[in-house]
Structure 1
Amino acid sequence: MYSRELSNILIKRKLISMFDGLTQGQIERLMFIDFCLVFKGEFARSELMERFGVAQAAATRDLARYRQLLAEQGKPEPVLDHSVKRYRRVSDFVPLCQHNPDYVITQFNRSVMSIDGEWGNQGGALAGYFQGVHSPFEQRSRALLNLSSDILPSITRAIHQQTLVDIRYLSLTRESLKRFAPHTIVSNGHRWHVRGAEIGSDGSAQFKDLVLTRMRSVTGVDQRAPESALMADDLSWQQRVTLRLVPHPVKFEHHHEVIELDYGMTNGCLELQTRLALLDYTLNLWDVDCSQNAVLSGFRYQLYLDNRAELAGFDAMQRTPGFTE
């Protein structure tokens, strides 16, 4: 229940006194305003009305109360952009509450798209906060996340506003500064990645994934991402491929019916659709033997990629289980 989750947050962060005298609904709406400014960088009064079904007068009072609470703590208030009737955070904005990134990503994780593109129906306390805009998350995951509190919001704001960020990034070989245009946060089942385009010194855009936890710092750049760096131009992201998974032909030659039942196969086959950019993530997550002659040992490989030849030309297949064997 949202009320229990919200109460735990407030108690943990010692915010009970700040919201003293307010109803549960008022507190939820104030936290929603704060959340939008942190993770989207902007907020409109109409969002309160649509999200919570309140009248314009009630939404106006909530916004006034939120600004009052910021002022009482000496924190800068958001500025109204009259041209679009949206409040935007200022450069030195400090949120009313500290939003734990692990909690936020867990809640989003309960409502984002599954591998076959269907929306989940297990929305938690924060599910729906990005309704009406592109959700920054793709695929459910139990991946671990250990971030400083400002990294995830900086990424989600850039995704929502389609702007650039400068990322100080630690790879296996060195630390470097990357100018990046993120468009989605995606999980490979074990860790979170940011999908987007790295902008070269010549302005070129190269789409790739960066590991979220390897980001030492993320700084917003007041500059729109070039058209060539937007999701629409990420061809590997836009293209979907079909995976035909069958019981492993060697290990389960005489017990294929068991695997068919385990995975809900039809006519001995399970077909999955995934984005080309997620091809290797999906096959690794499902422990699919992608070798030419089904040679991988170990009980974990219960599935075999039946249409291996059809997918062999994609570079991502080089990173799948057994493909090079």
Structure 2
Amino acid sequence: MNLKDIPFAQRQRLAYIDFVLLFKGHLTRQDLINRFEVGLSAGTRDFNLYKELAPSNIHYDTRLKQYFQTPGFKPLFAHDAKKTLAKLAADISDGFDAIGELSFPVEAPSQLNVPDIFVVARIIQAILNGRAVKVIYTSLSSGSAAREIVPHSIIDNGLRWHVRGFDRKTQTFRDFVLTRLSSVTLLDKAPQPNEEQSEDHQWQRQMPIKLVPHPHNVKHPTAIELDYGMQNGALELNVRAALAGYLLRRWNVDCTENASLRGGEYQLWLENQQSLYGAENLAIAPGYKHQ
């Protein structure tokens, strides 16, 4: 049977099954019913049809009453990596972009590269199911090597996608560039308590940041106040310590004590540098010097 011959609404449900199997690894018939508000018999037909179209993709565990991804899983639909990451960031997980019939007049500057969709899928499976992964990671300092990480979040820093998690090699929480990961394998052994997100203090810590129009580089500060929705001439944010450097670099915020950076690209100044004390990734923040 050709996918194009299937009614659109049912293709949406099949795309959802495919999407969840790829990124989570398992789902139940009730998940489908709750998502699309269809009846029990319709949900059963959808799973039967999916199994007919892709018999090597799905396995039903009668004890757990769940459908699972098989080792030989190959997506029935084409899931675009950029769209998928954007959907996941916005908590949209319906697989509708796989249908190929919906498009939106929205463009964004390209990132350096697009991560491999199967690498993304394995990492997300690990996060959702509380698992560690074994990967080959290529770093600038040490080249390619195997390592084990316990991922807990995926981050868009504006240029690259990162995965943050516990690195068993260094025994620290770190960020890894997604495009530098390869050969991702899910591990069975559950993470230790010290490897869980709750122990990532840089992730858990919220830092107050106060941004104002740059006092030397901006001739008409009202324009910047409008750009950033400032109140009383300032934008006050709470950001994770682990992400502060990314935000400050992405927005080209002058982080010097006396607003000494010159150039039209520096339209914002960080007015409360002291609040950043203890954040670990500030080497990339423009002009910031550790106290």
Sort the TM-score into its range (normalised by shorter chain): 0.7 to 0.9
Give the letter for the 1:199 counterpart: R
Q: Does 1:52 align with 2:36?
A: yes
Q: In structure 2, what is the Cα distance between the partners aligned to 1:297 and 1:210?
A: 32
User: Which of 249, 252, 266 lines up with 1:301 in the alignment?
Assistant: 266
2:211 maps to 245
Q: In structure 1, what is the Cα distance between the partners aligned to 2:173 and 2:209?
A: 23
Q: Cα deviations across residues 220-243 of structure 1 (Å, max 9, x unaligned)?
A: 222222222121221211111111
User: Which of 113, 134, 142 lines up with 1:166 in the alignment?
Assistant: 134
Secondary structure of residue in 1 paired with 2:174: strand
Secondary structure of residue in 2 paired with 1:184: strand
User: Which of 168, 172, 194 lines up with 2:163 in the alignment?
Assistant: 194
Q: In structure 1, what is the Cα distance between the partners aligned to 2:260 and 2:217?
A: 10
Q: Does 1:232 align with 2:216?
A: no
**Residues 187 and 81 (structure 1), Cα distance of their counterparts in 2 relative to 1, 3 Å cut:** farther
2:81 maps to 101
Q: Does 1:35 align with 2:19?
A: yes
1:14 maps to none
User: Which of 223, 243, 261 lines up with 2:189 in the alignment?
Assistant: 223
1:323 to partner: Cα distance:
0.9
Q: Does 1:25 align with 2:25?
A: no
Q: After the TM superposition, list the runs of 4 or more consecutive aligned residues in structure 1 that deviate by more than 6 angstroms.
A: none
1:261 maps to 226
Scaled by the length of structure 2, the TM-score of the pair is: 0.87
Q: Cα deviations across residues 222-265 of structure 1 (Å, max 9, x unaligned)?
A: 2222222121221211111111001112223x633332233222
Contact 1:77 1:93 in 2 (8 A): yes
Consecutive unaligned residues in structure 2, runs of 5 or more: 97-107
Q: In structure 2, what is the Cα distance between the partners aligned to 1:259 and 1:97?
A: 43
2:257 maps to 292
What is the aligned length? Answer: 278
Q: Does 1:282 align with 2:247?
A: yes
Give the letter for the 2:173 counterpart: F
2:100 maps to none
Q: In structure 2, what is the Cα distance between the partners aligned to 1:148 and 1:165?
A: 16
Contact 2:116 2:179 in 1 (8 A): no
Secondary structure of residue in 1 paired with 2:54: helix
Contact 1:102 1:145 in 2 (8 A): no
**Residues 241 and 49 (structure 1), Cα distance of their counterparts in 2 relative to 1, 3 Å cut:** same
Scaled by the length of structure 1, the TM-score of the pair is: 0.78
1:309 to partner: Cα distance:
1.9
2:149 maps to 180
Contact 1:141 1:190 in 2 (8 A): no
Contact 2:202 2:279 in 1 (8 A): no
Q: Cα deviations across residues 29-81 of structure 1 (Å, max 9, x unaligned)?
A: 1111111111100011111111101011111111111112223xxx2532325
Consecutive unaligned residues in structure 1, runs of 5 or more: 1-16, 113-122, 128-139
Secondary structure of residue in 2 paired with 1:78: strand
1:144 to partner: Cα distance:
4.5
